[in-house]
Amino acid sequence: MGKIAAILRLTRIEHSAMLVVAVLAAELLSGGFPAIGKLLLSIIAPIFISMASFAVNDYFDIKVDKLNMKNRPLVTGELRPDDAILIAIVCFGIGIAAAALINVYAFVIAVVFAALAYMYSYVLKEVFLMGNIYVALTMVIPFVFGNYVNTSALQANVLLISAMVFLSGLAREIHGTIRDFRGDVKVRKAKTLPRVIGMRGSATVALVLYILAIAISAFLFLYVAPFALNIVYGTIIFASDLMLLYVGLGYMYTDKQKFYEKTRSVSLIAMGMALIGIIASALVYI
């Protein structure tokens, strides 16, 4: 059980659960759940590709994690670097194979993001803003993937949700570069946003991105089905938006590592709540 728990921590299985919710929501918004076989494949693909991506990331980030996240399984010795590579290969294989059985669109999306996941961990993380943009896109792609499970055209409501998630995801990633500044610069010599424009400037950019995401969430509530005047969506997204504002403003006015670590989970919970609001509204839509 100890090794299984370490693998689940290595692959950050909780992120996979959020991806599944996003895929299901997009499927509902783009025509409803597909047949059971295709539905299961559409769940398997993002779970395993996400697991593989995190395994690869930890493989390349061992030195950084020794400074920033000392409880990671490769740092503690619970798993070996070779274990991470094997897990990544197996998970990538399962995820891409599942996507290939759905349709060509799903297959292409899976292959492209598997390749980008490797490139991100290997080199893109060190390229100015590219790593942050990539991670934000990984939060968006489950919606696009779920949409294309059902149809060959991107639905307008899915596009707006994707924009909202991308902006908040990019803001969260910028906060991550602020939180991990010491390790990223000292070990990887990464040219992150805080290194270029400073901590306060980076926090300002993140806050603006959060505000733009909140504006889209309000637009959805006012004008776009099935979110328009939907009390379930409105209540949940309002709470989520308040949490994101709290985090964004907090990064503006504090430089305490304790605050950074405490709010790491707050922003993730807020985005998870938004996903719940989206899928709840999608269920009403069908």
Q: What pLDDT is recorded for position 251?
A: 86
- The DSSP 8-state label assigned to residue 256 in this structure reads -
pLDDT at 1: 56
Last residue of a domain, one of 106, 128, 151: 151
Summarize the confidence of residues 17-37 as an average pLDDT. 90
Q: Residue 34: give its domain's CATH number.
A: 1.10.357.140
| Structural domains of the chain, count | 2
Residue 182 pLDDT class (50, 70, 90 cuts): low
In this structure, the answer to whether residues 74 and 16 fall within a common structural domain is: yes
* Pair 8, 147 in one domain: yes
Q: What is the pLDDT of residues 100-141, one digit of tens each?
A: 999 999 999 999 999 999 988 888 877 778 888 988 998 899
- List Cβ neighbours of 132 (8 Å cut-off, separation of 6 or more): 170, 173, 174, 176, 177, 193
- Final residue before a domain boundary, out of 106, 126, 151: 151
**CATH number reported for the structural domain that contains residue 159 in this entry:** 1.20.120.1780
Q: Residue 63's domain spans which residues? A: 1-151
Q: Are residues 3 and 117 in the same domain?
A: yes
Nearest to 31 by CA among 155, 161, 139: 155
Task: State the Cα–Cα distance between residues 278 and 230, nearest whole angstrom.
Answer: 10
pTM value?
A: 0.85
Mean per-residue pLDDT of the chain: 87
Whether 21 and 110 map to the same domain: the answer is yes
Mean pLDDT of 85-93: 94
Q: Do 100 and 172 belong together in one domain?
A: no
pLDDT exceeds 90 at position 160:
yes
Nearest to 9 by CA among 86, 66, 64, 72: 72
Question: Which of 1-10, 149-158, 183-192 is the least confident region?
Answer: 183-192
Kindly state whether residues 161 and 268 are assigned to the same domain: yes
Judge if 25 and 113 occupy the same domain: yes
181-199 mean pLDDT: 71
Same domain, residue pair 70 and 116? yes
Task: Note whether 145 and 18 are same-domain residues.
Answer: yes
Examine the domain organization and report whether 278 and 161 are in the same domain. Answer: yes
* Stretch among 108-117, 148-157, 167-176, 262-271 having the lowest mean pLDDT: 262-271
